[in-house]
Amino acid sequence: MTRRSWMGGAAAAVAIAPQIKAAKAGDPIVDTHMHTWSGDAKKWPYDHPYETDFKGPKVGATVEELVADMDKNGVTHCILVQTIYHGWDNTYTVYCLQQHPHRFRAHGLIDPTDPQVTDKLEYWMTKQGLAGMRFSAIYYHNGARGGDAWLTSPAHHRLWQRAQKLGAVFNLFIATDQLPRLEQMIRRYPGVQVVVDHLSQINLGGDNVQQHLDKLLALGKYPNAAVKVSELTSVSASGKYPFADALPWVKQVYEAFGADKLLWGTGYPGSVRGVYDRPTLAAELTLVREHMPFLTAEDKRKMLGLNAARIWKLPTS
């Protein structure tokens, strides 16, 4: 190690240390969208349900790398979201949760067309400790894979009834023209907390953006609906940090949902961010802290952690 590299590393550590101290001493900092997957395909096989020729991801995204990245940047907690790479087998996500149960909450995946979807929700929550599930309706968009009628099917009404009893949180990876179906369920089952992922994956550089956005904004009136301001890399027109072109749209989401229902999430741990062309965790924090002038200081506290702590029942100090 050269004197210059040592000094650079020391300076970075000094810059980060106040963030870690503040996070530990005060508010939780919660990344609400974190994918991990195994680096050991023999122990935890890959089983992508929508790509039969899937050979596995480029690299592993392990819990060990995640915790190191969290500690380096003062992130106190993460909400783990089962990756599609492991399909409906949530055991690696459960393994991650068990390593750090005080720092993580976790969501699994269930085949939404499975007739036993309700029983599987109960199993993963009551026997394996998951906080809820993610349903990726977007993979069934425009009639794909048999279509998305399951969103409001009798089986899913039973699912949501059970979810209310269990206190489940549902993440929805969903296209905007599927949101009216989701709205029916949100309205009918107010005891189920719903979180819409990635601003409903709206292409903010595409056509009819306001028309698409209005469907998301319509959910803002429901107390049990929240939204993740996440994946700006993939939804913004530029794809360039700090995503200035996307922020007027984000402001509309803020105005419709209110500061109490906005959540911050990033996606990948540590060096895996670079593999998938995502900003560093430090940059993602700076995005909220310095590049969203429509947020007050209190709004930022809520978005970066207090809202997630309330939804997932995390410690706040």
Residue 89: pLDDT band with limits 50, 70, 90: very high
The Cα–Cα gap between 87 and 174 comes to: 17
Q: What is the pLDDT of residues 180-208, one digit of tens each?
A: 999 999 999 999 999 999 999 999 999 99
pLDDT at residue number 8: 43
Look over the chain and give the mean of its residue pLDDT values, rounded to a whole number.
94
Confidence of residue 5 (pLDDT cuts 50, 70, 90): very low
Query: Which amino acid is it at 40?
Result: D
Section 276-292 average pLDDT: 98
CA distance 214 to 176: 9
Better-scored residue on pLDDT, 20 or 281: 281
Q: What is the pTM of this model?
A: 0.91
Contact 286, 241 (CB under 8 A): no
Q: What DSSP character marks residue 51?
A: -
Residue 196 corresponds to which tokens in the numbers above? 């819409």
pLDDT number for residue 197 = 99
The average pLDDT across 161-166 equals 99
Complete DSSP assignment for 59-94: S-B-HHHHHHHHHHHT--EEEEE--GGGTT--HHHH
Average pLDDT over residues 137-150: 98
| Residue 81 bridge partners (DSSP) | 107
Q: Which residue has the higher pLDDT, 16 or 188?
A: 188
Beta strands in the chain (DSSP E): 30-34, 77-81, 104-109, 132-135, 169-172, 193-196, 225-229, 262-264
Return the CATH number of 26-312, one of 3.40.640.10, 3.10.180.10, 3.40.50.970, 3.20.20.140: 3.20.20.140
Reported as a single tens digit per residue, the pLDDT across 40-63 is: 999 999 999 999 999 999 899 999
- What is the chain's alpha carbon radius of gyration, rounded to the nearest angstrom? 19
Least confident of 17-31, 109-123, 230-244: 17-31
Residue 202 phi, psi (nearest 5): -70, 135
| Ramachandran assignment for 109, one of left (phi > 0), alpha (psi -120 to 50 degrees), beta (any other) | beta
What are the domain boundaries of the chain? Answer: 26-312
Q: What pLDDT band is residue 316 in, cutting at 50, 70 and 90? A: confident
Count of residues making up the chain: 317
